[in-house]
A and B are shown apart, each in its own frame.
Chain A
Amino acid sequence: MITGMTRFSRVHIITIVVLVLYGAMLASDLAGADEMSRNGVEPGGNELTLDRLTALLAQVPERRAHFKETYYSSLFREPVTTKGTLTFTAPSRVEKHVLAPFEERYLVDGDSLIVEQRTKGTLQKISLEEHPLLKAFVEGFRAVLAGDRETLRQFYDVRVEGEQSRWILTLRPVDQVMRGQVKSIRFTGKDDSITSIEIRESNGDRSEMVITRQER
């Protein structure tokens, strides 16, 4: 160590070092508190983590948006487009109401998927427990809209890219059977709202949903 210094001086140096370290800790704590008060939002330019993103998304208990969805499939000679509204009510109610070119409502609430065909007047109830593939698919959406990190991780490998003002969340199914059908689901968004959803299937088909108008 520093020889020749009096014991007193050594104590001084140690104290200063400790104080500096302590001060740094304090400063970062304050900064952290500052962060907390701004709900964990980092100043622009920093990396966004899954935890932060889902926390952000979880803050919105109700969503209502208009969408336009386009389907590209080897079965279709031209892409098929549907328009309608997408509603979400925390924690587990998702409704997709297709308005054009036909009217149909898909409601996920709890354990079942209800399909209502307005033009035909039929109602079909499908138990998600009996169709694990469908369940995983539906949970992907629900969990993202609700900011439910645990459920997401249960069914998907998750990757977050970008920053808060423009982020990309990519889901890849964990289950082998599902991987045989769905390759990935990609959400893009800004802050706490979603701007588009793209589903890529393993056979090359895909669908793209663009949020055209967002209401709260």
Chain B
Amino acid sequence: MTARHWTAVLVWCVLLGAGGIVLLTKTSFKAELSLLLPPATTPTQELLLNQVRAGPTTRLILIGLEGRNADVLAAASKRLAAWMRESKEFIYVTNGEQAWSTEELDLLFRYRYLLSPSVNEARFRHAGLRAAFEDRLHDLVSPLSLLVKERVAEDPTGEFGSVLEPWLPEVRPRRHHGVWFSSDGRRAILLGQTQALGFDLNEQERLQAELKIAFTQILSSMKTPHPIDLLVSGPAVFSVEARKTIKQESWKLSVVAICLVVLFLYAAYRSWRLVALTIVPLVSAMIVSIAAVGLLFGFIHGITLAFGMTLIGVAIDYPIHLFSHLNSGKSAETVFERIWPTMRLGIITTVMGFSAMLLTGFPGLSQLGCFAMIGLLVAGSVTRWVLPALIPSEFQPDASVPRLVPPMDRMRKAYLMPPLAVLVATGYLILSGESLWEHDLANLSPVSREKKTIDRELRKELAAPDVRELIVITGQTEQEVLQISEELKPALDRLVTEDVLSGYEMAARHLPSYRRQRTRQAALPEPSTLRHHLEVALSGLPFTQNAFEPFVAAVGGAKRQKPLDSARLSGTGVGLKLESLLFPREGQWVALVLLRGVTHSEQLVSMVKESNHANVTYVDLKGESNRLVAAYRGEALSLVGWGALAIGIVLLVGLRSMTSVLRVLLPISGSVLVVVALLHGVGERLSLFHLVSLLLVVGMGLDYALFFNRSTSTLAERERTIFSVLVCSVTTMLVFGILAWSEIPILRAIGMTAACGSLICLLFSALHSREPDAIRLAS
């Protein structure tokens, strides 16, 4: 090894070491999907961002305990709920048990005259009071006295009942032994809202695992012979499941793919050492890229990692080119004298193509672009300067290259095939009535249908709000948004009776605005007036004279009470439940109206418009998410233009001949078109994942085309070139072909696109490569 080699290896080790340290200590891996969202440009998008990040409905976990014995299920439900409440991981847990603590009930009781929607002047005049006292008398001499007696002296008009009413769910599940059950009695059902954000997948995964463990412990400690199944559902559950499925599947498939590739490479090179060296540039690229992205962006996202690995897959081609050209007596350095210009051009054009991704405002795309660019540069450099140092100079590869030139020349006679194929593909794409793009993200979800059914059932039984639609109200103060909510209430109630939606939830139903509370306070009579009305109302009734003094005192106190607001409630259970519906954000206040069972969203949209408030917005999360993805896609497509331009310029500079540039660019563009047509033909609707894979195809295509078009001095050399491209292509097809068999839509998308792309690029570049020099062939 020469001094140069030593320097190269040293630099490489240092770089790897530094990269490794940064990776292990400083790089933070994030899995929160909302980090990929572009910065908001409109207030709606801002709200959407916020909702996706922290929305209450995305944090709901729906639980069903399924079994045969209802008593056992009820007991399990109580114990699980107790564990959930104690774990402090949940903002609230409801399973039908009395969820209120005595303190909370006392608080609501103390403020009943401000909170009760049935407080008005008439209620406290003699006619209203008389009616109330008669009712209470009947209650007290009936079985209901048990329910009534405790608070009747303080609250004869029954305001407490009116206060508690909105807190009860509108659709009350069946109860058995004090806990909720599904209507067929097979499942005990519970609902919890997690502290962790809905899209913080790591936290959610941890929480769900803990829940399962706790349940198993509860079950074993109950020592019941009856088995109970734990069903867990909700958006966070789905996301965690999807990620797990994808991880497991990718892992499984990657192992198979790697085995196949290793075997194939061994078959090609007959040397384990070479096979091992093939991955050195790739691994170096990975380490340095991850560390670099982590340093530049502050974190690296899981999706960047996954896609980035795919894109750097082209890096495996570089050592293959080197090894395929190694033969009798020639050292790696000599080989590089011949092939390095081509390889270098390939690396630079691909990197320039990816650089277009840096221009976007989308964090996902820019991180990915950065990752891929750094990765390829590192892989190329390692192949050029480090690998030669690792191959001993006297190394003799055993394999002889198969005779590939005659078949290739024969194939080149079919040079009309690519243009024809492109024509057919274009025609097909234009004439096809089907949409090219996948518009509904839900179709990309790998969650099974069975799980989606369970979610639907649990959601219906628990009357949990939908995740999709909501109304967002913003304002300068808490009171402003509460008042606007109150103004919307009659319209919403009307829509509920018209079946446009089945129900809604808003903070204003539980916490009235100051204005409303003061109106109620004003309606309350002064103690002296009230006593007078009382006397009249009580005449003829068997109550003692002072039976309702506590009532008079309470009303007098209520007249002087300070109105309730969220600050007064914070820290209490009541306050916690309201926090997700009413909260401050960046100097403003936000009130949410959660909707349930929306059937005609257009009517809701028009209601919102008619309400004439600029800061009331109807948000359809699903629609917005799909729109967002479409935006990403649009952005990615617009970059194609820039990318192509960048590639074209670099090629022109590198090849110095327009014909050569065309020979390289045309097969690649053609193969992309044909691949798209093929995918469309088998029923795949294109998504972002296909687009990213097409970028990989372009990278590979550049590599193949450049190598097929380089000038070769001998027949043997030409054979080795063809061999190297063939090995590259086969390894790519092996790896991505395995992915294409996956059940998971995302993996299948990537696999099919890359595998087909590799094959077609190979064929098209081969068929249109430059004609070998007749003179050179002869010699």
Cβ-defined partner of B141 (8 Å) among A69, A133, A203: A69
Do residues B141 and A129 form an inter-chain contact, with CB atoms below 8 A?
no
User: Within A75-96, which residues are at the interface with B (CB < 8 Å)?
Assistant: 75-78, 80, 82, 96
Q: 1/0 per residue B572-594: CB within 8 Å of A?
A: 00000000000000000000000
Q: 1/0 per residue A150-164: CB within 8 Å of B?
A: 000000000000000
| Interface membership of A110, Cβ < 8 A | no
Q: 1/0 per residue A182-194: CB within 8 Å of B?
A: 1000000000000
Residues from chain B with a CB closer than 8 A to the CB of A74 are 544
Do residues B138 and A77 form an inter-chain contact, with CB atoms below 8 A?
no
Do residues B146 and A130 form an inter-chain contact, with CB atoms below 8 A?
no
CA distance A197 to B729 in the complex (A): 94
Do residues A75 and B147 form an inter-chain contact, with CB atoms below 8 A?
no
Residues from chain B with a CB closer than 8 A to the CB of A76 are 542-544, 547
B164 to chain A, nearest CB (A): 12
Residues from chain B with a CB closer than 8 A to the CB of A113 are 143-144
Q: A78-B542, A117-B138 in contact; A106/B175 too (CB < 8 A)?
A: no
B80 to chain A, nearest CB (A): 19
Closest B residue to A108 by beta carbon equals B143
CA distance A174 to B145 in the complex (A): 19
Do residues B152 and A115 form an inter-chain contact, with CB atoms below 8 A?
no
CA distance A130 to B98 in the complex (A): 9
B616 to chain A, nearest CB (A): 36
A87 to chain B, nearest CB (A): 15
Q: A117-B138, A127-B175, A181-B150 in contact; A134/B143 too (CB < 8 A)?
A: yes
Residues from chain A with a CB closer than 8 A to the CB of B150 are 181
Q: A127-B175, A181-B149 in contact; A115/B544 too (CB < 8 A)?
A: no
Q: 1/0 per residue B541-556: CB within 8 Å of A?
A: 0111101000000000
Q: A102-B138, A181-B149 in contact; A77/B144 too (CB < 8 A)?
A: no
Do residues A75 and B140 form an inter-chain contact, with CB atoms below 8 A?
yes
Do residues B543 and A77 form an inter-chain contact, with CB atoms below 8 A?
yes
CA distance A106 to B290 in the complex (A): 74
Residues from chain A with a CB closer than 8 A to the CB of B528 are none
Closest B residue to A182 by beta carbon equals B146
Residues from chain A with a CB closer than 8 A to the CB of B544 are 74-77
Closest A residue to B131 by beta carbon equals A120
| Interface membership of A138, Cβ < 8 A | yes
| Interface membership of B681, Cβ < 8 A | no
CA distance A102 to B137 in the complex (A): 11
Do residues A137 and B543 form an inter-chain contact, with CB atoms below 8 A?
no
CA distance A77 to B538 in the complex (A): 12
A54 to chain B, nearest CB (A): 22
Do residues B547 and A75 form an inter-chain contact, with CB atoms below 8 A?
yes
Cβ-defined partner of B178 (8 Å) among A71, A117, A129, A207: A129
Residues from chain A with a CB closer than 8 A to the CB of B152 are 75
CA distance A132 to B153 in the complex (A): 22
CA distance A207 to B144 in the complex (A): 13
Do residues B140 and A73 form an inter-chain contact, with CB atoms below 8 A?
yes
Do residues A96 and B143 form an inter-chain contact, with CB atoms below 8 A?
yes
| Interface membership of A131, Cβ < 8 A | yes
| Interface membership of B142, Cβ < 8 A | yes
| Interface membership of B53, Cβ < 8 A | no
A209 to chain B, nearest CB (A): 11
Do residues B542 and A77 form an inter-chain contact, with CB atoms below 8 A?
yes
Q: A129-B178, A133-B146, A181-B146 in contact; A77/B545 too (CB < 8 A)?
A: yes
Cβ-defined partner of A71 (8 Å) among B141, B172, B174: B141
User: Within B491-519, which residues are at the interface with A (CB < 8 Å)?
Assistant: none
| Interface membership of B439, Cβ < 8 A | no
B545 to chain A, nearest CB (A): 7
Cβ-defined partner of B543 (8 Å) among A75, A117, A181: A75
Q: A73-B140, A117-B138, A127-B175 in contact; A134/B147 too (CB < 8 A)?
A: yes
A134 to chain B, nearest CB (A): 6
B321 to chain A, nearest CB (A): 76
B48 to chain A, nearest CB (A): 39
CA distance A181 to B146 in the complex (A): 7
Residues from chain B with a CB closer than 8 A to the CB of A104 are 138, 142
CA distance A80 to B172 in the complex (A): 37
Which residues does B use to contact A, with CB under 8 Å? 137-138, 140-144, 146-147, 149-150, 152-153, 172, 174-176, 178, 542-545, 547
16 contacts across the A-B interface (CB closer than 8 A): A76-B544, A76-B547, A80-B141, A80-B542, A98-B141, A106-B142, A115-B142, A126-B144, A129-B176, A130-B172, A132-B178, A133-B146, A134-B143, A137-B146, A138-B143, A181-B149
Those 4 A-B pairs whose CB atoms lie nearest each other, nearest first:
A129-B175, A77-B544, A75-B547, A76-B542
